[in-house]
Amino acid sequence: MTSALVVGETFAVETWWVAVIKAVIIALVGFTLIPAAVTIERKLLGRFQHRYGPNRAGPYGTLQAGADILKLLGKENFRPSGSAAFLFYLAPMLAVIAAVATFAIIPLGDVVTIFGQPVGLYGIDVGIGPLYAFALGSIAFYGLVLGGFSSGSKYSYLGAMRAAAQLISYEVSMGLALVGVIMATGSLSLVDIVQYQQEHTWFIVTQFVGFLIFVIAAMAETNRAPFDLVEADSEIVAGYMTEYGGGGFASFYAAEYLNMVVAGGIATTIFLGGWAIPFWGDAPDWIAPFVVLFKTFLFVIFFVWIRATLPRLRYDQLMSFGWKILLPLATLNALVTAIVVVVA
Q: Is the pLDDT of residue 11 over 50?
A: no
Mean pLDDT within 115-137: 82
Q: Is the pLDDT of residue 4 over 60?
A: no
Mean pLDDT within 122-135: 85
60 three-state secondary structure: helix
Q: Is the pLDDT of residue 217 over 60?
A: yes
Q: Is the pLDDT of residue 85 over 50?
A: yes
Sign of CA dihedral 103, 287, 203, 189: negative
Q: Is the pLDDT of residue 81 over 90?
A: no
Mean pLDDT within 76-85: 87
Per domain, the residue ranges of the chain are 3-343
Omega cis (within 30) before 226: yes
Percent of the chain with pLDDT over 90: 52
Q: What is the pLDDT of residues 279-333, one digit of tens each?
A: 787 888 889 999 999 999 999 999 999 999 998 888 889 999 999 999 999 999 9
In DSSP terms, 117 is beta-bridged to 114
Average pLDDT, the chain: 88
Sign of CA dihedral 112, 118, 121, 124: positive
Q: Give the pLDDT of residue 8.
A: 40
Q: Is the pLDDT of residue 9 over 70?
A: no
For every residue of 216-280, DSSP letters joined together read HHHHHHTT-TTS-GGG-HHHHTTGGGTT--HHHHHHHHHHHHHHHHHHHHHHHHHHS-TTEETTT
Q: What is the pLDDT of residues 155-195, one digit of tens each?
A: 888 888 888 889 889 999 999 999 999 999 999 999 999 99
283 three-state secondary structure: coil
335 near 225, Cβ under 8 Å?
no
